Amino acid sequence: MYRNQYDNDVYIWSPQGRILQIEYAREAVKQGSTTVGLKSKTHAVLIALKRAQSDLSSHQKKIFPIDDHIAISIAGLTADGRSLSKFMRTECLNSKFLFDQPLPLSRLVAAVGNKSQWRTMFAGGRPYGVGMLVAGYDSQGPHIFQTCPSSNYYDCKAMAIGARSQSARTYFEKVLEDLSECNLKALIGHGLVALRECLPADAELSIKNVSIAVIGEEQKLKTFDNEDVQPFLADLDTVK
């Protein structure tokens, strides 16, 4: 990306009213591997595409459990995602210790936004170079939130972030009206189809590069990796 005199620090504005350090952080999210999140009336689902840096390395973890009712999936710098996940776990533990109840998802995401905001206001630091999809279930039902390096966050019905994620968002727009009534199996199927839309022509979904997390009305957080993903991939062609 082109460098100029206005991108030396995060508190410098360009004449066009842009903060270039934040835009660079957004580019890190766009270069990350794709992850999708979607919800029905009863469940929230995260599905992530895992990358291996080389043939000699294992696939990087993309979905992180936060609490028994919350999980996140990341696109961008994994180290920044781990740092934010640690902060989120601490917030959830504090809520249980002080108030003896789970932390509402909207409050947790707002806390992440506030923490990210400090990174955009002072010299000597940089914005978090990671975008997150936060899935959870609380007294208000299932939720999918998207967080951005700019500290903005959005409550979504379905969302995809990362490289080539526009294809997944286009698919979600086509099936959006059907998602709320889907059962869990169909919801995961739609998520896998959306993720498949983002793959290059020579790639395909497999048990090595897909992770799934599910949270529901009567179901605590459950993740599926490796061989546990195979039954969902086997049913992929039956999704309508």
**Per-residue pLDDT tens over the stretch 49-105:** 998 888 888 888 999 999 999 999 999 999 999 999 999 999 999 999 999 999 999
Predicted TM-score of the model (pTM)? 0.93
CA–CA distance, 15 with 17 (Å, rounded to integer): 5
The answer, yes or no, to whether residue 214 has pLDDT greater than 70, is yes
3 pLDDT above the threshold of 70? no
**How many Cα atoms occupy the beta-carbon half-sphere of 96 within 13 Å?**
11
Residues in the chain: 240
Contact 36, 47 (CB under 8 A): yes
Average of per-residue pLDDT across 186-207: 93
Q: What is the pLDDT of residue 240?
A: 60
Domains of the chain, by residue range, sit at 20-235
20-235 under CATH 3.40.640.10, yes or no = no
Tell me the pLDDT band of 188, cut-offs 50, 70 and 90.
Answer: very high
Residue corresponding to tokens 């580019």: 27
Measured distance CA(33)–CA(199) in Å, rounded: 10
pLDDT tens for residues 5-57?
A: 777 777 788 888 888 899 999 999 999 999 999 999 999 999 999 988 888 88
Query: In whole angstroms, what is the distance from residue 156 CA to residue 179 CA?
Result: 12
